[in-house]
Chains A and B, each alone.
Chain A
Amino acid sequence: MEPLVRHRGVVAPLNRPNIDTDQIIPKQFLKRIERTGFGEFLFYDWRYGEDGKPNPEFVLNRPPYTQASILVTGPNFGCGSSREHAPWALMDFGIRVVIAASFADIFYQNCFKNGLLPLTLPQPEVDRIFQAIEQADPSTGLYLTVDVERLLVHDDRHQLEIPFALDPYLQETLLHGLDDIARTLKHEALIAAYEAQHGK
């Protein structure tokens, strides 16, 4: 898994509460045999019209947000079914950080299995980010840097500086790109010794 130490990118605003996993990736797209390729279908019903053409109104279809790698959104993001396809779709589109006042439990856990940071901030701080986006140059959008080492979000000129909290175990997971497999492989010597000792 790719480590996430410091990430700078365009922030796309999607100011709705309770966005569920069915909206993130509708179930007709779950039949793939890969984890990749879901980005195309991210927010499908919003991103595309009935005719299958991109909806020009939707934020991720408008430059500079077509290049967004950070999403700021409403509370309780990722509720609904437990499908791991939701973080897969976000990652595949290019999102590395989602900022919201709260996240659904299972979605939150699934993110860390895939190197995606669900960043929880108090709602007033989230609102400050929405405001900063409005005030930014519309052709470039707002760039934020998310520093997982120092647990700090800031813009380029440090006018906006917001510290955040993160469980140390999860912080380490992101900093070192440790998925569960990578963690287990740190015990490689023990596993090999076990196999030798037990004739396995």
Chain B
Amino acid sequence: MAMVRRLRHTPRTLFEKIWDEHVIFEEPGQPTLFYIDLHLVHEVTSPQAFEGLRLAGRRVRRPDRTFAVMDHNVPTTDRSLPVADPIARQQMDTLAKNCQEFGIRLFDLHHPEQGIVHVVGPEQGLTQPGMTIVCGDSHTATHGAVGALAFGIGTSEVEHVLATQCLVQPKPKTMEVRFVGPRPFGVTAKDMILALIGQIGTSGATGYVIEYTGQAVRDLSMEERMTLCNMSIEAGARAGMVSPDEKTVEYLRGRPYAPKGEAFEAARQRWLAYATDPGARFDRVVEVDMSRIVPMVTWGTSPGMVTTIDGKVPDPDAIADPVEAQNVRYALRYMGLEPNTPMTEIPIDRVFIGSCTNSRLEDLERAARVVAGKKVHPRVKAMVVPGSGVVKRMAEARGLDKIFREAGFEWREPGCSMCLGMNADILQPGERCASTSNRNFEGRQGRGGRTHLVSPEMAAAAALYGHFVDVRELLPRP
């Protein structure tokens, strides 16, 4: 009894509480079998998984815990027209057929609440604290912002979860990323995560689940926490999460799939109890000094190749490590950049505001504030792709679409769009884009395209000036 009491009082992290609660079977030296509360499915990584089920004569174990949405290759232009790309159309038709056959809820192309899977989940209240959530997409970590354990899986694992509602994986280690100090003026969640990746590198958190802590994280809105968690994968982490608090609870109140009435009050107590206990230990702790963060811009072909807006393109000749210098040289060649160019002198051809990192209402509001009453630079082609139908309608109700349109932005239908360029929204070879998405790999936004990752307000500012500018100079000082 004494033993039990002592164990119960051992302080635990958010991750440990969720993990412990979901273990079904564990054997020393073997991966753990654990339960999945919510499985999100989209059109690109699921067809072979469903086909595998059919070939083996298996069913979807819990269609009620499975939720599908079309997002990766949907067109963002007029939806009353037929989908032009036959492969995209086939993948969408296949998802629709699979969902019908196996009884899975689907937000299809024409559903008013369709959107990017990682925007839709939290927005609908499907994503809740204490849950285990998976999706065949690596940015599933976004859902960790509400205090869930959420991560991406491969096609074989998608099939495994469909058939068993479980997953087999080794237990990851835990990392606390503590943002120390208050948030400086003009710094966004995107700048915080880019600064972290710049500090620890793109494999700095490999094998870990990150929990973001510190007053600066507590001060973030829920949507900002989603931006922060979203790019955990770019730091190499399995997942990123934030302990639930009253902000989390209030965010979920009234959402379509959140509990209602008394059930909500009961859930509230349960949710708050998942928060990391004082004194709980992490396997590793990393501190990020908030006072050193300013608006960030990537200059290379990996999210870790990042600097501050007042910085310069690095000079490979000044780098001692020959391998590192070579990497920088390759990246600069692909990006078409000269060493030591000030970031503010890099010209921009395209601007993309969207993706599961930065396409929520607050992102669009902050970008619109920069844009209001101004015009997009004549050389620049700029577009806004809202994260979901809900975001789009809320933004339109606030007149944001007008602000963007009058400035010369295109205002599109929701989807992944130019984040990965699986639909028609792609860069032409050599075009340079200020993008609010999460990956700047070679060819990510189209063959030969050059991507610079920034926050929505930085992207908006670049659209107006045709080059990067320090957005702090445009924002009203507090």
- Spell out A's residues near B (CB within 8 Å): 1, 31, 33-36, 84, 113, 179-181, 183-185, 187, 190-191, 194-195, 198, 200
- Residue pairs across A and B with Cβ atoms less than 8 A apart, 28 shown, are A33-B51, A33-B91, A34-B47, A34-B48, A35-B48, A35-B51, A35-B55, A36-B51, A36-B55, A84-B155, A113-B156, A179-B56, A180-B156, A180-B160, A180-B168, A181-B58, A181-B159, A184-B164, A185-B164, A187-B166, A190-B24, A190-B33, A191-B164, A191-B166, A194-B24, A194-B35, A195-B165, A198-B21
Question: Secondary structure of the B side of the interface?
Answer: helix
Which of B35, B55, B56 touches A200 (beta carbons < 8 Å)?
Answer: B35
Contact indicator per residue, chain B 39-70, by CB within 8 Å of chain A (1) or not (0): 00000000110011001101000000100000
Chain B residues 75-115 with CB under 8 Å of chain A are: 87, 90-91, 94
Q: How far is the CB of B405 from chain A (nearest CB, A)?
A: 35
Q: How far is the CB of B328 from chain A (nearest CB, A)?
A: 26
Chain B residues 156-171 with CB under 8 Å of chain A are: 156, 159-160, 163-166, 168
Q: How far is the CB of B275 from chain A (nearest CB, A)?
A: 20
A131 to B187, CA, bound (A): 70
A24 to B54, CA, bound (A): 25
A183 to B37, CA, bound (A): 20
The closest CB in chain B to the CB of A85 belongs to: B48
* Contacting pair B52 A184 (CB below 8 A): no
Q: B91 to chain A: which residues have CB within 8 Å?
A: 33
Which of B24, B58, B90, B155 touches A191 (beta carbons < 8 Å)?
Answer: B24
> Which has the most chain A C-beta neighbours within 10 Å: B35, B37, B90, B91?
B35
* Contacting pair B35 A191 (CB below 8 A): yes
Q: How far is the CB of B112 from chain A (nearest CB, A)?
A: 27
Which of A1, A34, A187, A195 touches B25 (beta carbons < 8 Å)?
Answer: A187
Q: A198 to chain B: which residues have CB within 8 Å?
A: 21, 35
The closest CB in chain A to the CB of B157 belongs to: A180
Q: A33-B90, A84-B156, A200-B37 are in contact. Are A181 and B51 (CB under 8 A)?
A: no
Q: How far is the CB of A68 from chain B (nearest CB, A)?
A: 23
A33 to B47, CA, bound (A): 5
The closest CB in chain A to the CB of B21 belongs to: A198
A84 to B156, CA, bound (A): 9
A31 to B155, CA, bound (A): 14
Contact indicator per residue, chain B 137-157, by CB within 8 Å of chain A (1) or not (0): 000000000000000000110
Q: A200 to chain B: which residues have CB within 8 Å?
A: 35, 37, 65
Which of B33, B47, B58 touches A187 (beta carbons < 8 Å)?
Answer: B33
Q: A1 to chain B: which residues have CB within 8 Å?
A: 56
* Contacting pair A187 B48 (CB below 8 A): no
* Contacting pair A184 B166 (CB below 8 A): yes
The closest CB in chain A to the CB of B98 belongs to: A33
* Contacting pair B25 A190 (CB below 8 A): yes
Q: B155 to chain A: which residues have CB within 8 Å?
A: 84
* Contacting pair B51 A187 (CB below 8 A): no
A133 to B51, CA, bound (A): 37
Q: B166 to chain A: which residues have CB within 8 Å?
A: 184, 187, 191
> Which has the most chain A C-beta neighbours within 10 Å: B48, B159, B160, B165?
B48
The closest CB in chain A to the CB of B23 belongs to: A194
Told that A180-B156, A187-B166, A191-B164 touch, could you supply 4 new A-B pairs with CB distance under 8 A? A34-B51, A35-B51, A183-B168, A190-B33
* Contacting pair B51 A184 (CB below 8 A): no
